[in-house]
Amino acid sequence: MTIHEALRTKVATGRKLLIPYVCAGSPSLEATLPILQALADAGADAIELGIPFSDPLMDGPVIQAASHQALKAGMTLAKALGIAAAFTASRETPLIFMGSVNPMLAMGPETFVKRAQKAGVGACILPDLPLEDQGRLPGLSQVQLVAPNTPNERVQALLAEDPPFLYCVTVFGVTGARTTTADYTLPFLRRMKALSQAPVLAGFGVSTPEQAVELAAACDGVIIGSALIRAMNAVDAKDAARAAGDFLKPFRQALD
């Protein structure tokens, strides 16, 4: 089953999607695979595996620090592909790569796409690869990002690419846990929901189950990153998988 089919089938049943983000290699290379497996077992509908890069585009301080730590520990795109292959061999939860396009281009676009497909990667989120250049990675589905100020015409052009889902950047700024919802966020999500036949997910700033429920009421689900990374950073790396699962379960329960 493709990631498109998996997510849309769940949305059709009324399920709110829950997609966590983790950075490959953080808090350690050895912990990454068990973390992915724990998140799948805790009810994730898909998982974003971040590819660390020295010059991130949208990442706030928590994810920047995780990327820096992972790079220092020796994480590479090739190693992330190995982790992806091991994960998709053990779980059916769709896996998405998120990061800069630069490491993919450095590997070679065709080589990367072939290796990603072989590893079971379902799609990519590449914020610095605009729609007009997405043909540089042919054969690999792209999640499309939209912001509160994205015009409807641009949204329609992005949706014409048949993305697995529409990633709604809910605030003007970078990633990071937030305690309040901006006054423009819910109207933005409702506008995207009215325009899109693809699932609409809210990302940036989701840090509590209560926030997840509030945002998901206006769309099809939420993406959680920085708050999850903080929870894993609060324990020893060997306990990070347990912490990840424990963190995600209340979100799954609240959304259900």
Q: How many domains does the chain have?
A: 1
Per the model's pLDDT, the better-predicted residue between 212 and 136 turns out to be: 212
Q: CATH code at 247?
A: 3.20.20.70
CB proximity list for 14: less than 8 A, separation 6 or greater = none
**Whether the Cβ atoms of residue 192 and residue 168 lie closer than 8 Å to each other:** yes
**Which candidate in 30, 41, 45, 48 is catalytic?**
48
pLDDT band at 177 (very low <50, low <70, confident <90, very high): very low
d(C-alpha 169, C-alpha 161), whole Å? 18
Note down the domain range covering 109.
3-127+136-255
Q: Annotated catalytic, 210? A: no
* Mean pLDDT value of segment 197-202: 98
Residue 85 has pLDDT above 50, yes or no: yes
Report CA dihedral (194, 46, 101, 30) to the nearest 10 degrees: 160
**Which candidate in 30, 45, 55, 59 is catalytic?**
59
Q: Average pLDDT over the chain, rounded to whole?
A: 93
pTM of the predicted model over 0.85:
yes
pLDDT digits (tens, 9 = 90+) for 160-171: 999 999 999 987
Residue 210 has pLDDT above 90, yes or no: yes
d(C-alpha 58, C-alpha 66), whole Å? 14
d(C-alpha 52, C-alpha 32), whole Å? 13
Q: Annotated catalytic, 48? A: yes
Residue 174 has pLDDT above 90, yes or no: no
pLDDT band at 113 (very low <50, low <70, confident <90, very high): very high
Alpha helices in the chain (DSSP H): 3-12, 29-41, 61-72, 77-90, 102-107, 109-119, 152-159, 185-195, 209-216, 226-233, 240-255
